[in-house]
Each structure stands twice: as C-alpha cells, then as structure tokens.
Structure 1
Amino acid sequence: MHASPPDAAIRPFTVTHRGILAIAVPMTLAYLSTPLLGFADVAVIGRLGDAALIGGIALGAVVFDFLGAIFYFLRSGTTGFTAQAFGAGDRVEIQATFFRAVLIAFAGGLAVALLARPLLPLVIAAFGASPEVSAATLRYAEVRILATPFMLVGYVLLGWLLGLGRSGFALVLQTVLNGLNIVLNIAFVMGLGFGVAGTAAATALSEALVACIGLALILRSFARADRPSRMRVLDRAALIRMVAVNRDIMIRSFALLFAFAFFASRGAALGDTLLAANALLMNFFLIGAYFLDGFAAAAEQFAGRAVGARYRPAFERSVKLTLVWGYALAFGAAALLLLCGPALIDFMTVNPDVRAAARTYLIWAALTPIAGVLAFEMDGVFIGATWTADMRNMMLLSLVLFFAVWFIAGPILGAHGLWLALVVFLSARGITLFLRMRRRIAATFG
C-alpha cells in the first residue's frame, strides 16, 4: 500500500471499545461455529456404527480443512480492500471489490473442482489408510469437491461483510450454514440412507445454498447509482493488486501450516505418547486462537478503514484497543489453562502416560496465547492495510528462527526444546511485524 496522495480527503472517524467488541464478538462466534460442519458430519455417520465410514469422514474433513486453509486468503484479502474503500467513502469501489473477489473465487473454485477431482485417489492414497477407509474418503471427497466454487465464494462474502463491519450478518450466514448442514445430514443419511455420499452432499449443498442466499441479499442491498462498470470491475491494475495481495497471504498461510506440521512431525518422532500429549495441548491453543481471531478481525476492519480514510489517529487507536483486549484475553486464557488444565487433560484422555506427559508440557501450552497475541493482532492490522508483502516476509523470517531454535534446543531439551521453538516462532512473528508497522505508518499516512 503506497502513501495516499496529498490531495485525498481525510475522513475522520472514532474507534471505541464498543465498536471493537461489535465486530470481535460476532466474528468469534462465527469462527467457533466453523468446526461444527465436520462435527455434524462425523456425528451423523457415527450413528451408522461403521468405523471405516467414520474414518473416511475424518480423513475427508482433513482434506477440505487443508483446502480451506490454502484459499482462506480470499476472505482476508477481500476484507482489506473493502475496508479501505469503505474508509475512503468510495461506494463504487466497494461494489467493484465485491465483484472482483467473487469472480476470482468462483473461477478458482471451478478450476479446483475440475482439476483436483481426478487427483483425489492419489491424495487419499497418501494417507495410507485401509482400503475401506480410503474408499469411504474418496466417496465423500468426490461429492464435496463439486461445491468448491461456493465454498470460496462464501469466504469472499465473509470477508466483504467484515470489511464493512457487518459481522452480525456474517454470523447469521454461518449459523444458517451450520443449521442447514445438520438438517440435510439427518435427512440424507438417516432418512434416505445415502451414507457417506449423503453427508458430503449435505455439506456441499449447504455451502451452495448459503453462498446463493448471501449473494442475493448483498446484491439486493446495492444501490444502482453506485454500480461499477464492467471496465472498473475488470481493471487490470486492480485485479493484479488483488491477486498479489492474495498471493502474499497464501504464502504466509503455507508457511504457518508448515510450521505446525513440522511441530507435529517432530513430536511424533519423539514417541506416540508425546504425539498424543502435544495434540491434546495444541487443541487448547487452537481454542484460544478462535477468540484472538475475533479481535484480529476487528483490527482488520478498523485498520483498513483508517488507511482508506487517511486518518492516522483512528489507525493507532484501533491498534491500541485491539491489543489491550487481545492481551487481556491471552493472559486470562493462560491463567485458565494453568488452573483448569490438569482437569481438562484428565477429561480428554484416560491414558495415564499421556496425562503425565500433557501435564509436563502444560506450561508451554499456557504460554502460547501470550506469545501469539501480538502476531494475531498484527496479522489483522497488516491484512486490513494490505501490507501483505511485509506480512509474508516476516512470516518467513520467523520460520527460519523457528528452525534455528529447534536445531539448537531440540537435541538438548527434547520436547521442551520443540515447544520453546514454537513460542519463539509465535513471538517473532508479532515483534517483527510490530517493528515494521512503525515504518509503514509513516509511509502510508505521511
């Protein structure tokens, strides 16, 4: 993002605690409800009593979770551009951003649905599951992949609504999606006996219906006077910039996924007990991340709006307030984990060795929200401001530090060294982005 031209209008607005919470709370609820899609699939298939079918659904969910993580840049990128157009008061560009993002999402989703489907047997075979589980996974994936264009359009709808600060609408769409999925799952699997294919069809149809509903409602809300021309929507420079921002976010997401995959693989190399303990403790971190993501979403909207409005005080106050709430939540989560962690561990597993290992490393899990909160909030700020090249570069630098700490501390401290590397990785992401932000503020606001 380059500095705004000196003759651009400055559009002051106020950032308040209430405004931050009005975005963060609905988005947190929306994020927390996301895992319900996979949960509903497993719960309904589980009623059939066939372990292979349950395994097939579980592996299928992994495939689509990974696919979703790869393309989630569509949500983030759309938020930044929309928030900036909103801050600038450019109602034509708000609509143009929406149409551009929907076109990119639908085209990308269609390409995945057509090109990835023949590759599914190879991807599923790589899991090394039994023939029965692999067959069930393939049946599930072949049906659900057809809805990829609608899944990606759904990301755009969420990002566009968040860019305008309409997180309540986003929560409604997510709630409808989960409700439809549950109802259709029961109808297709328990009522009509379609099995795994029925579960996949329920999820795919839910995503398609909610995408169409969201599109229809948003298009109805558009003022005809603000409708952009086809030339404006397909403007080459705007499309290239949107693709570049999305590319940077995708690289950042790949690096993040790689770091967590490496953490899991190193834990597995240290034994099955430690692998299970680490997986259990990482669930604690991921639950905390959903709450921190809500305030990161608020940072995206307000930071992007302030950049579009060229109003530095609002930018700086949005950073301050989201950090205050983020750190309050992070320290609260850490204290809760230290106090209730042993009881939660005992509830989640009855294996005495896993319980003992999880207790040993609980302190590290409690530190992860505190170490990661600055990274979460800075991600939100940089996405909203579309400073994505910096976000990509600082992520790659932090990944190098992660490997360096593990290489040095791993052989000496074992699993403690692995957790230390993760905490350093999370901390480095936040600190490097925060330091970079100070230069970016000066360049952007003048």
Structure 2
Amino acid sequence: MTLGKGLGSIGHKDLFKIAIPIMIANVSTPLIGVVDTIIIGRVPDPALIGSVAIASLIFTFIYWGFGFLRMGTAGLTSQAAGANDQEEIRATLGRSALLAIIIGLALIALQHPISELSFYLIHGSPRVELLANEYFDIRIWSAPATLTNYVLIGWLIAIGKARHALALQLLLNVSNMLLDILFVLGLNMGVKGVALGTLLSEYGAAGAGIVIVLMIQNRLAGAWDIKRILAKQKMIKNLSVNADILVRSLALIVVFTWFTASSAAFGDTVLAANAVLLHFMTVSAYFLDGIAFATEKFIGESVGKNSRRHFSDAAKLTTMWAGGVATVISISLLIYGPDIIDFITVDNSIRETAKEYVIFAALTPLIGVWCFQLDGIFIGATATALMRNSMLVSTLLFFITWKSLEDLGNLGLWIALLSHFFYRTLTMYLQLPKVIGAITEYKVSRD
C-alpha cells in the first residue's frame, strides 16, 4: 500500500495531515512548564519554583476536566461536515464557544472557593502558598480565553484545518515563553510575571484563533444565525455530549489521582519512581492522541454521511496506524527506558525502583492504544453516553482489581492501572455494534 492510497475513502495522507500537526502541538505544550520553571528558577528564591509548580498543577486539573469542550466540538462539527451542513458547522462553533465563555466566566466568579479548596487539598510552605495564590489570582482571569481555545482547536481539527490548530498552539506556547522572559527576567515581576505571561498569551491565541475562524467561516454557506445557535434540541444535544465527556474525564482523574496517592503510601522512593514512569505514559499519549484526534474527525464525517463504509475505512486505517505507533513506542521504552530513567534522576534508589517497574510503563502504549482509539470512535460518533458508562464501569473494576491485589503493593497498583485500560477497551468494544447500528439513524436537523 502506498502512502497516498490508504483504505477506500480515506488515504494515509489524509490521516497524517491531521495526526502530525497534533503530535507536534502536543509535544510542544510541556515546554511551557519547563520554560516557566527554568525562567523562574533564575530568580534567587526557591519558593518561586514551588509556587509555580503548585499553581500550575491546580490549573492542569481544572482545565483537564474541561477538555470535553474540544472533544465535544470536534465530534459534533465532524458530523455536520460529513453531512455537508455548512450552517450547522458554523452553529456548532457558536454553541460551543458560548458554553466555553459561560464556563470561563463561572470559574472567575467562583475563583475564591476554588482557590480555597485547591490550597486545602494541596499544601506548601506559607510563603509558597502565598506566591501560588498570587499566580492563581491572575491566571484565573484567562479561563474564558483558555476554554475558547479548546473549542477553536476542536473545531479546526474537525474541518480538516489541523495546521491552523498547530499554529494556534505554537503561537500560545512561544508567546508565553517570550512574555515570561520579559516579565520575569526583564521586569523582575516574579510569579506575577509568569501568571501574567500565561494570561496574555491565552488571550492572544484566542484572538488570533477568532480571526482565523472568521476568515474560514466567510467561505461557508449561510450566515451566523442566533436562533439556530440557540435551538433548543441542538443546545440539549451539545450539553448532553459535553456532560458525558466531563463525567468520563472526572472518572479518569479519579483513577490517576488514586494511583498517585497510593504510590505516596508506599514511600517517597516509590512515589518518585512512579512519577518518572507516568511521564513515559504522558509522552506516549502525546503521539497516540494525534491519531485519536484524526479518528474523531473521520468517524464523525462517516456519521454525517450515513456511511458505514466510510466508518469502516476510518476505523481500520486509524487503528492500524495507532497500533503500529504504539508498538514502536513500547519497543523503544523497553530498550531505552532504563537509560531515560538514568537521565531523569540521579538518585540510585529511584533509578532501581523505576527500572523494576519500567516494563509496565513500556506496555502501557500497547495495551492502552485500543481504548484511546475507541474513545476517538465514540467521540466522533457522539456516542458519549456509552463511553461515559464504559469509563464508570472500568473505574469500578479498577478499584476492585486494586483491592484484590493490594497485598502485592506497587506491583498490584501497576497491574490494576493496566487492567483499567483493558476494561475500557473491552466495555467499549462490546458497545461498538450499537455505535455502528446508529449510523443510519443520523439525520441532519434543520431546527
């Protein structure tokens, strides 16, 4: 098979036009935290690094929970694109952006209880918490822009403009780095400078994204129609899809939070070793997500077209490549994992513990890729209620597995985590016939 032919209606080039820009964008994102730490680390005050780390962690958890805005927008827009319903493509963007702004404003309005709860759960020294609060109080005002960016990126991916999505992400990352340098090293603003740099870069990216979107939508048929955007049934569908994905995301957060908390119960060495290995999983996900995002787009189009053939082509091609990428990652981690561990940490006890369990981190891409792919399929088909239920059942089974293997300590914890990926794959696979069977039921609504 040549690179351009692919399977039936979808070519390999079609896949990688979406996947590669997303992979690059994903890999560039962690550089923000690294640069923040490097820049703030040049100021002779150890509390600054700790405060940025704590505050950044809080926002990571907050915004991870609202990742449904990107996924929900991508699924619904892809379906409208597949049906060639250009007015609905525009209206979906309007609904999702409206929801993002409302949630963002709500986060600002609730910033004080959110801050109090966050710093109750995450402790630091009095000075670290004071500085972290300063960071929080500034960055929280970027919430509407941050969430709008999620919507814009999801929409751009869904209409096949992944390069534009990449450009927005790179603009955000690069501008954040430059503003950090200006405010922290140039103007000596400390933690406030880091937070202000992030805030301005988020609004800058949102502004640029809006300009790009307006240029694109001018080529679509029809015009902005507030009645269509606010159509009751469409709004209910949008809210339902996003609520399902939110519940699914929260369940996933619970699993990884429990994993980290349980790691801490085994001592500092195990906690540190597992943290190193979780970085392996995170980097693996950056690459696999690129293909999963493409899966969302192609599956959504197949639903919009009422085409089971297109659905089959999309599922087979993306899964084939995802499996191949996962295999390469797993083999690479098996071979080079110990060397990477040695590079990350110089503590011999952490090195030894991490190497003892590196096999599990290496197997994660190969075991987890199938549920990642099914996530993409279910999101593209907006079968989010089934995906939500799958995650809830899998999370329950995770805790049952962990409890039954608790005597094995960290070994049992890793087995339970990998089992969670397997449970997600199994429960979604069993529901897949329902997703396929519903394709012919999709109709483009004109209300």
Instruction: Compute the TM-score of the two structures, normalised by the length of structure 2.
Output: 0.94
What is the root-mean-square deviation in Å for CA atoms of aligned residues? 1.3
Q: Secondary structure at the match of 1:361?
A: helix
Equivalent of residue 14 in structure 1, options 6, 9, 13: 9
Shift in Å at residue 17 of structure 1?
1.4
Unaligned runs of 5+ in 2: 1-7, 442-447
- Name the residue aligned to 1:4: none
CA distance in 2, matches of 1:141, 1:365: 33
Query: Mean alpha-carbon deviation: is it higher for 362-371 or for 434-443?
Result: 434-443
Aligned to 1:343: 339
Question: C-alpha displacement at 1:221, in angstroms?
Answer: 2.5
Q: Distance in 2 between matches of 1:386 and 1:119?
A: 30
> Of 52, 55, 64, which aligns to 2:50?
55
| Amino acid aligned to 1:76 | M
CA contact under 8 A between 2:281 and 2:361: conserved in structure 1? Answer: yes
CA displacement 1:178-213 (0-9 Å, x = unmatched): 111111111111111211111100100000011011
Residue 57 of structure 1 aligns with an amino acid whose one-letter code is V
For each residue in 1:54-84, what CA deviation from the matched residue of structure 2 results, as whole angstroms up to 9, or x when unmatched?
A: 1000011101101110111000000001100
List per-residue Cα deviations over 1:33-53 (Å, max 9, x = no partner): 222222222221111021101
C-alpha contact 1:125 1:134 (8 A) present in aligned 2: no
Contact 1:406/1:418, CA 8 A, preserved across alignment: yes
1:157 aligns with 2:134: no
1:415 Cα offset (Å): 1.4
How many Å separate the matches in 1 of 2:163 and 2:203? Answer: 20
Deviations 1:239-270 (A, max 9, x none): 11101100000000000011011111111111
For the pair 1:39 / 2:48, whether they are aligned, the reply is: no
Partner of 1:269: 265
Tell me, yes or no, if structure 1 residue 199 matches structure 2 residue 194.
yes
- The yes-or-no answer on 1:137 pairing with 2:132 is yes
8 Å Cα contact 1:374-1:431 kept in structure 2: no
Candidates 20, 23, 41, aligned match of 2:18: 23
Whether 2:217 is the aligned partner of 1:211: answer no
The residue correspondences of 1:250-269 to structure 2 (distance < 5 A) are 250-269=246-265
Flag the 1:103–1:362 CA change in 2: closer, same or farther, 3 A. Answer: same
Of 310, 314, 325, the match for 2:310: 314
Structure 2 CA distance for aligned equivalents of residues 49 and 294 of structure 1: 39
1:301 to 297, 303, 313: 297
Q: Check conservation: 2:64, 2:249, Cα contact below 8 A.
A: yes
SS where residue 226 of structure 1 aligns? coil
CA distance in 2, matches of 1:232, 1:324: 39
SS in 1 for 2:160: coil
Whether contact under 8 Å (2:149, 2:206) holds in the other structure is yes
What is the count of residue pairs matched by the alignment? 433
Give the Cα–Cα distance (whole angstroms) in 1 for the partners of residues 113 and 273 of structure 2. 37
Does residue 186 (structure 1) correspond to residue 181 (structure 2)? The answer is yes
Q: CA deviation at 1:282?
A: 1.0
- Look up the match of 1:7: none
Identity of aligned residues (%): 43
Partner SS for 1:277: helix
Equivalent in 161, 167, 170 of residue 166 of structure 1:
161
2:372 corresponds to? 376
Q: Contact (CA 8 Å) 1:60, 1:140: kept in 2 or not?
A: yes
The alignment partner of 1:56 has SS state of helix
- Partner AA of 2:46 in structure 1: A
Q: Which amino acid letter does the alignment assign opposite residue 200 of structure 2?
A: L
Q: 1:98 aligns with which of 90, 93, 98?
A: 93
Is contact 2:86–2:221 with CA below 8 Å preserved after alignment? no
Asked if the contact 1:109–1:152 (Cα under 8 Å) also holds between the matched residues in 2, the reply is yes
Where 2:249 maps in the other structure, the secondary structure is helix
Moved more, 231-240 or 436-445: 436-445
Give the drift of 1:118.
Answer: 5.2
The answer on 1:443 being equivalent to 2:409 is no
* Paired amino acid for 2:401: V
Matched, 1:361 2:378: no
**How far apart in 2 are the matches of 1:365 and 1:39?**
22
How far is the alpha carbon of 1:292 from its aligned partner? Answer: 0.6
Aligned to 1:120: 115
Structure 1 letter corresponding to 2:365: P
- C-alpha distance in structure 1 between counterparts of 2:369 and 2:312, whole Å: 17
332-341 vs 250-259, which deviates more?
332-341
2:91 partner amino acid: A
The separation in 1 between residues aligned to 2:317 and 2:427, in whole angstroms, is: 20
What's the counterpart of residue 417 of structure 1?
A: 412
Contact 1:40 1:181 (8 Å CA) reproduced: no
- Residue in structure 2 matched with residue 285 of structure 1 by the alignment: 281
Aligned to 2:390: 394
Q: CA deviation at 1:225?
A: 4.6
- Does the 8 Å contact 1:121/1:138 carry over to 2? no
**Residue 122 of structure 1: how far off its partner (Å):** 4.3
Partner residue of 1:327 out of 314, 320, 323: 323
Q: In the aligned structure 2, how far is the partner of 1:237 from the partner of 1:220?
A: 28
Paired AA for residue 283 in structure 1: H
Letter of the structure 2 residue corresponding to residue 435 of structure 1:
L
Which residue identity does 2:141 align to in structure 1? Answer: L
CA contact (8 A) 2:69 2:147 kept: yes
Residues in 2 aligned to 1:443 and 1:213: alpha-carbon distance in whole angstroms: 38
- 1:364 Cα deviation (Å)? 1.1
CA–CA distance in structure 2, aligned partners of residues 373 and 195 of structure 1: 41
Matched position secondary structure for 1:275: helix
Contact in 2 for aligned 1:93/1:228 (Cα 8 Å): no
- Return the alpha-carbon distance in structure 2 between the equivalents of residues 429 and 118 of structure 1: 34
